[in-house]
Structure 1
C-alpha cells in the first residue's frame, strides 16, 4: 500500500507517538495473525524506528496485549457521554455505542475477541477477563445499578453473561452475516432491559418475595430518578 509517510515523520510528543504506534498495530494485528506481524512491520507502518516500539511497549507480545486491551475495554468516557435520560434511552444509547465501535473497527475487534493466532494464552485470557470486569462495571453504571450492593456478585455475573451474549451476537452480524445491525440492536437492547426490569428485581427481592421490591432508584417501565443518573 502506497502511503505518504512524510507527515508521520514529524516530531511528536511521547503520548502521541505511542498512540500512533498503537493505532498501526491495531490495524496490522487485525489484518493478519499474530505470528505474521513483526515489530519491523509495525515500525514501518508507523514510520518510526523499531527501537521506539521496544521503548514504549517492550516486546511484540506486550504491544499485542495492549492492542487487545484497547479493542475490548470500555473506556470511561463512553459511559460519561451517555444521555441523561430514562433507562430505555440509556440502554438504547449504550447498545448503539457498542455497535458503532465494533463495526468501525470490525476486523481488529474480531481478531481481539478471538485472540487470533495466540491459542489459549494466559496473558491474553487475563486481558480479556479484565475487560469483562470493566464492561460489567460500565453497564451497571449505565443502567443505574452502580450503587446496588445487595446480591452484587449475582448482578455482576448476569452482566458478564450479557457481555458474552453481546460479543456472540455482534459476531453473528459482523463475521457470519446471519443478523443485521437492526436485529442485533433489538436483541441486545431488549435483553438488557429485561435483565434490569425483570431479572434483577426478582434476584434482589429473593425467593418468596415480590419482585416489585426493586433496587433503589430504578423504576418499572424503564427509568431512574434524575439524581441517580451517572
Structure 2
C-alpha cells in the first residue's frame, strides 16, 4: 500500500505554519533564546524560508506579535458587538477586561517577559504600544469621559492592569485570584473616574 504524496503548502499556508511554530516557541522562552533553526525544525521548513517570508528573526517575531495583538483586538470587538444595546459602560469594560485576562492567562510567560525588559525588537514594542493606543481610544469611546480626570483615569488604568497582572502571573495565574483581580481593576478605574457615567 502506497501512501499519498504530501500536499505542497501554498505560500500563505507555509507562512501561517511558520508563524504558529514561532508563536509556540516564543511563548516558552525569551526572544533571544529562540533560534531560527529551532523554528524552522518545528515548522518543517528552513531558515531560508523564514527569511524569505519575514526578512529576519526580528521580522518573524514582530509578525507574531502583530497577529497576536490583532486577534486580541478582534476578539474584544466581537464580544462588545454581541452585548445588548442597553449594556452599561461598566459591563462593557468588564467584558473587555475579562478577554484581556484570558489572553494573559493563556500565555503568561510571553506576556510577562515583554513587561520585564525582554529584548524584543523595537518593531514589536511599537506594535504593542499601538495596541494600547487602540484600547485607550476604545475605552474613551465606551466611557465618554467629560473631564480631564476621566482621561487621566483611562490612561492610567493600563499601568495598573500590567502591575496587577504581573502579580497574578507570579502566582501562576491562580484561578482563585481571578475575580479579586477583575474586581481590583474595575474598582481602580471606577475610583479614578468617580463614576461610570451610565
Give the TM interval when normalised to the shorter protein.
0.7 to 0.9
Deviation string 1:104-163 (CA, Å, 9 cap, x unpaired) is 122222233335244xx644543332232122123334x243xx7x768972x5423211
Residue of 186, 191, 208 corresponding to 2:188: 191
- By percentage of residues, which structure has more helix? 2
Aligned counterpart for 2:73 among listed residues 53, 71, 75: 75
Q: 1:25 aligns with which of 6, 12, 22?
A: 22
- C-alpha distance in structure 2 between counterparts of 1:47 and 1:115, whole Å: 31
Give the Cα separation in 2 of the matches to 1:177 and 1:95. Answer: 19
In 1, Cα distance between equivalents of 2:90 and 2:183? 12
Aligned twin of 1:128 = 128
Picking from 158, 163, 166, the partner of 1:163 is: 158
Gaps of 5+ in 2: 1-5
CA distance in 2, matches of 1:24, 1:168: 29
Answer yes or no: is the 8 Å Cα contact 1:27–1:108 preserved in 2. Answer: no
Structure-2 change in CA distance of 1:153 and 1:130 (3 Å): farther
| Unaligned 5+ runs, structure 1 | 1-8, 200-217, 224-230
- Label 1:163 to 1:100 Cα distance change in 2 as closer, same or farther (>3 A): same
* Alpha carbons 1:39, 1:50 under 8 Å: kept: yes
- Following TM superposition, by how much is the alpha carbon of 1:38 offset from its aligned partner in structure 2, in angstroms? 1.4
Q: Alpha-carbon deviations, 1:186-208, whole Å to 9, x = none? A: 11122233444x27xxxxxxxxx
Give a deviation string over 1:43-99, Cα, whole Å, max 9, x none. 111122322211221100111223334445641341232223212221221121111
Taking a change above 3 Å as real, the CA distance of residues 112 and 190 of structure 1, as seen in their structure-2 partners, is: same
Structure 1 residues 169, 16: CA separation in 2 closer, same or farther (over 3 Å shift)?
A: farther
Residue in structure 2 matching 1:37, options 34, 51, 75: 34
Query: Does residue 102 of the first structure (1) align with residue 104 of the second (2)?
Result: yes
Residue 37 of structure 1, CA deviation = 1.3
3-state secondary structure, aligned to 1:31: coil
Map 1:112-127 onto structure 2 (within 5 A): 112-114=114-116, 116-118=118-120, 122-127=122-127
Contact residue 136 and residue 160 of structure 1 kept, 8 A: yes
1:137 corresponds to which residue? 137
Aligned residues: 186
RMSD, matched Cα? 3.0
Q: 1:91 aligns with which of 82, 90, 93?
A: 93
